Structure 1
Amino acid sequence: MAQVLLSLGSNLDREHYIAAGLDALAELFGELALSSVYESESVGFKGSPFYNMVVAIHTDLSVAELSRNLKQIEDANGRQRNGPRFCSRTLDIDILTYDDQVGEIDGVLLPRDEVDKNAFVLWPLAELLPNQCHPVRHLTYAALWSAYDQDQKLWPVDFSWHDQQISYAKAKD
């Protein structure tokens, strides 16, 4: 089974759609490994702040089958595909990595280019899998996060899913 890292994001009814995305992923793939949920300013356009997180799954689906399933989850949650690339959205689920595969596979570029460019992807990755290496850069996500120097604002938020606190606005005392 392949380990796949996914990025989830929403800036419309954020709590509802992140939870709905997690529900759908759990139904399809079973156990999920979850980062904290982070709130971030919109990147690439002026819009409401996003909630973002990273989810690790294991699957036997091909990249094409996985991509189709993720688009179906997005569509079932009101995702509009007729707007500009950078716009508000109910639910966005992106494949970040699929094992250590590199290149365009089934129309999906792996690893996703934004992995080490956007704090809302890299910080959750560094939290969830600090010692795992980026398949191209061959540096750990913790090392990439430590060297990150972009000016993108984000912060962890309180977030519960299925009555379990998965994220805290600040470190527990």
Structure 2
Amino acid sequence: MSFITLSLGSNQQPKRYLTLALDALSEHFGELTLSPVYESEAVGFDGDNFLNMVVALQSDMPLWCIRDVLKAIEDQNGRDRSQKRFSGRTLDIDILTCDDLSGEFDGVVLPRPEITENAFVLKPLADICPLQLDPVSGKSYATLWQQYDRPQRLWPIEFHWHDQALSGR
């Protein structure tokens, strides 16, 4: 079984699409570990704010299969792949880490470089995997968050999935 972390984000009906994504991920992968949900300003373009979170799961599926499941979930939830890279979206799901792999595997770069570039990825990852070591820097995600110094704002919001409150800390 591999330990995998995913980044989820949405800025179009974001509470609806994050809920639908969590339902689909639970259906495909079973038990999920969920970070708090954070709101942040769009990065790289002018647009509505995003809701973001990180999900951890375990799976024995090959990485390419997980990638394809995630793309299918995005597509089933209205993801328009004809849009520019930096644009609004109903749902974005990215594989952040898979165990301690570093490099390109089945077309997936691990760990995902955006982990250390974007507060909306690093903070929720540090929330649920504070002691996990980044295979590139060798530092824990909690340490990387403490050292993060980019001017990106994010703030916790109240969010509920089923009976679970995913409010920020």
SS, match of residue 85 in structure 1 = coil
Deviation at 1:8, TM superposition (A): 0.2
1:151-162 equivalences in 2 (<5 Å): 151-162=151-162
Q: Which residue of 2 aligns with 1:137?
A: 137
Sequence identity percentage: 56
Q: Summarize deviations over 1:124-164 as a string: whole Å, max 9, x none.
A: 01111111111111100010000000000100000000032
Q: Which residue of 1 aligns with 2:6?
A: 6
1:158-173 equivalences in 2 (<5 Å): 158-168=158-168
Which ranges of structure 2 fall in alignment gaps of 5 or more residues? none
Q: Which residue of 2 aligns with 1:75?
A: 75
Q: Which residue of 2 aligns with 1:43?
A: 43
Q: What amino acid maps onto 2:43 in structure 1?
A: V
C-alpha distance in structure 2 between counterparts of 1:24 and 1:108, whole Å: 21
SS, match of residue 97 in structure 2 = strand
Matched, 1:16 2:16: yes
Q: Which residue of 1 aligns with 2:33?
A: 33
Q: Which residue of 2 aligns with 1:52?
A: 52
Q: Summarize deviations over 1:6-64 as a string: whole Å, max 9, x none.
A: 00000000100000000000001110000000000000110000000000010111111
C-alpha distance in structure 1 between counterparts of 2:53 and 2:74, whole Å: 15
Which ranges of structure 1 fall in alignment gaps of 5 or more residues? none
C-alpha distance in structure 1 between counterparts of 2:163 and 2:33, whole Å: 16
Q: Summarize deviations over 1:79-128 as a string: whole Å, max 9, x none.
A: 00001000000000000001111111001111101011100000001111
Q: What amino acid maps onto 1:159 in structure 2?
A: F
SS, match of residue 167 in structure 1 = coil
Deviation at 1:75, TM superposition (A): 0.2
Q: What amino acid maps onto 1:77 in structure 2?
A: N
Q: Which runs of 4+ in 1 moved over 4 A?
A: none
Q: Supply the RMSD in Å over aligned alpha carbons.
A: 0.8
